[in-house]
Amino acid sequence: MKVAIFLALALVALSSGRETGLRHFKGYKVFSALTTTRDQLEALRVLFFSDEYDFWTTPNGLGVTDIMAAPEQIAQLVEVLEQHGMNYTIKFNDVEKLVEEEREANTRAFSGRIDWVSYPNYAAILDFLTTINSNIATVSVIGQTTEGRDIHVVKISSGGPPKKSILIDSNIHAREWIAGATGTWIINELITNADTYAGILEEVDIYVIPMINADGYEYSRTNDRMWRKTRSVNPGSSCMGCDPNRNFRFMWGGESTSPDPCSDIYHGTGPFSEPETQAIENFVLASEAAGVQFLAYMTLHSYANMWLLPWGYTGGVYPPDFPAQLSLGQAAIAALRAVSGTIYETGQGADLLYGVGGASDDWAKDHGIKYTATIEMRGNSFVLPPEQIIPNSREVWAGLQVVIQRVIETVPVEEDPTPVETVTTCGGEVEASSARINFQLDATIPAGQTCIWVVKPTFDRTRVNLVSSGLLFGSGIYFTEFNAYSGTPGNQVEIVNVGEDYILSGNFFLVTLTVGTGPNQGFSLDWYSSGLAGGPPAFSGFAALTTPTGSYSYPVGGGQYGNSENALFIVSPETAGARTLTFTRMDVENDSSCSYDAVSVLTWVNNQYSQIARFCGNSLPTPFSLPTGLALVTFTSDSSVTGTGFGFSWA
């Protein structure tokens, strides 16, 4: 089999110029193009998806994008940039010089063994892994690459039964050498300073996969420094390899992927078509079957100075526990910055960088691993000087220790024996581990009455129990999960039967009471949260507006709204009756599909929240009829271009 693979590789090499010898980059330039308008951004995205250029960073929001152009492409690229009025600078005038300087520095420093002052070859990495001699480290082979190289995982543990665990992977992309160097540095740090980490290792097991894409890594060292993919053979194509970080099952074939084997973002023939990605999936499944509980999955990449959170497959979608993900990301980059001053950003991956289908971190999150992140490490190119290996590793390790501490603190919590808070008003905001809503127990509720309670459970599992109810047919109580970051409703459950338990997941709910015909008697409802801490969402703007009539303006106090905002305004008058919602001013970034910044209006229709409008720009929409008097006004903004916001009234 290995002979057959070798012959196939040789045939492909003969059929493609880029597959033979050492690829040179003489005359290649890297342009930093600045987009300040949406039209400019769209022009860059057309170039990106043409696969004609090597985009070192991806055009997502407005700002700077790095693009490498071959000598014969430079005139065309400059023409496109100038046609669209884009300012640009030449970041690297000769990529060959950049690569050669790295090669020379690495050759001078490399001793033949891993030393973290140079980038080692796979043989040195293999020697390091197979000669580890430590009572806290176990090295295992979890699979082989296409070309037969072993893929290793190192388990760092104080021993005993499986503990809560974190998995760190490295070098899934071949040219990102700093990823593998950081992975091996972390292993060495834990082994050589075992006493320092004894307390951590009493609580958690740490697994590190230091080199996933060994074939691609070696090829990037010997043939093509900018090689990104694996080295698998693609039947019917002279182009080799697959982007392994587009090859995982979750959202496979989605954004920023390609069906073209010649593309750097080729997603493969199907999910887990590559032996490298199969090895990761098989390892996780086998470990869990043996009792391992992975609570964190961190994947090391370069370059962007970003700590990217789920979901990453598209912009504007967030897992229910995103507040917990965000608070962890913020704490991690603060610890990282404290080491040497390196500044990172954190946030939802596609919002900050670009949407990616079939990525490892989203697959891990979808699989059930609570905390996941892609760490795009320091640098202004894929060629990070070897003298930065140790400084980079130290700061990333500081961030990862925050993740480990969060894993240690992530302990399932039991329910309170009785509710810790009681609410008796029509609507209100409750942030607690449990609560009871007693509404009009000794009085009647008039026909047409509506109420909304904002419920923020402390933990991620909520049990709801209707203790008593005098509601008549046609009236109802509904728990609606609400995603604070996309401004959209999620799963909804009607609470109908007294004494029955209803189980929900999430950290933010709208509890809606609607009363049909005739006066109804009141009700008593308990909810209890348990499980893992999630944390309530952080809104950039929030208000529960309960007066019979009124007006509201955002931002409060005037001025410009900010980037990456998420705001929710609940119109829920305390007296029954239909209302009209009228917008009185609008200044929100405009585009034809309102895909950047937008105001949305949702109302209660057929016992659920439905979006009736989404708009942006400066034009005032026509007034909205609210038959039940209820409305949700949501606002989201992206990472650039702002305005003075909006105002509305209800009467």
- pLDDT per position as a tens digit, 474-483: 999 999 998 8
Check if the beta carbon of residue 525 is closer than 8 Å to that of residue 477.
yes
Q: Which of 309, 297, 311 shows the shortest CA–CA distance to 344?
A: 309
The DSSP result for 486-510, as a single string, is TTEEEEEEE--SBT-EEEEE-S-EE
Dmax (CA) of the chain: 87
Check if the beta carbon of residue 602 is closer than 8 Å to that of residue 610.
yes
Cβ neighbour number for residue 204 with a 10 Å cutoff: 22
At residue 98, φ and ψ (nearest 5 deg) are -60, -45
Check if the beta carbon of residue 528 is closer than 8 Å to that of residue 462.
yes
Average pLDDT of the segment spanning 14-22: 48
Q: What is the pLDDT of residues 33-54, one digit of tens each?
A: 999 988 899 899 889 888 889 9
Strands 63-69 and 29-35, sheet pairing = antiparallel
**Mean pLDDT, rounded, of the chain:** 92
Q: Which of the listed CATH numbers 3.30.530.20, 3.30.70.340, 3.40.228.10, 3.40.605.10 matches domain 27-92?
A: 3.30.70.340
What is the C-alpha separation between 627 and 624, in angstroms, rounded?
Answer: 10
Check if the beta carbon of residue 448 is closer than 8 Å to that of residue 577.
yes
Q: What is the fold of 115-409?
A: Aminopeptidase (3.40.630)
Question: pTM of the full predicted structure?
Answer: 0.81
Q: What's the full length of the chain, in residues? A: 651
Residue 19 has pLDDT above 80, yes or no: no
Q: What is the pLDDT of residues 373-430, one digit of tens each?
A: 999 999 989 999 999 999 999 999 999 999 999 999 988 899 999 999 999 999 989 9
Check if the beta carbon of residue 221 is closer than 8 Å to that of residue 215.
no
At residue 59, φ and ψ (nearest 5 deg) are -70, 105
Residue 16 has pLDDT above 70, yes or no: no
Residue 6 has pLDDT above 60, yes or no: no
**DSSP-assigned beta bridge partners for residue 527:** 435, 464
Strands 164-170 and 204-209, sheet pairing = parallel
What is the C-alpha separation between 552 and 575, in angstroms, rounded?
Answer: 18
Average pLDDT of the segment spanning 352-358: 89
Residue 526 has pLDDT above 80, yes or no: yes
What is the C-alpha separation between 329 and 159, in angstroms, rounded?
Answer: 29
Q: What is the pLDDT of residues 340-350, one digit of tens each?
A: 999 999 999 98
Q: Which two tokens stand for residue 199?
A: 């307390």
Active site residue 376: yes
Classify residue 82 by burial, with Cβ atoms within 10 Å: 0-12, 13-18, 19+: exposed
- The pLDDT > 70 percentage for the chain reads 97
pLDDT at 11: 32
Q: What residue ranges do the domains of the chain occupy?
A: 27-92, 115-409, 422-533, 541-650
pLDDT at 362: 96
**DSSP-assigned beta bridge partners for residue 588:** 617
Q: What's domain 422-533's architecture? A: Sandwich (2.60)
Residue 20 — pLDDT band, cuts 50, 70, 90? low
319 φ/ψ sector (left φ>0, alpha ψ -120 to 50, else beta): beta
What is the C-alpha separation between 434 and 436, in angstroms, rounded?
Answer: 7
Q: How far is CA 4 from CA 8, 215, 457, 518, 536, in A?
A: 6, 17, 58, 80, 56
pLDDT at 104: 87
Q: What is the pLDDT of residues 170-192, one digit of tens each?
A: 999 999 999 999 999 999 999 99
DSSP label at residue 466 = E
Q: What is the fold of 541-650?
A: Jelly Rolls (2.60.120)
At which residue do the structure tokens 């007034």 appear? 623
Distance of CA 426 to the CA centre of its chain: 37
Check if the beta carbon of residue 552 is closer than 8 Å to that of residue 543.
yes
Start-to-end C-alpha separation, the chain: 76
Which one of the listed residues 19, 176, 376, 481 is annotated catalytic?
A: 376
Q: Which two tokens stand for residue 419?
A: 């509710």
Fold match flag (115-409 vs 422-533): no
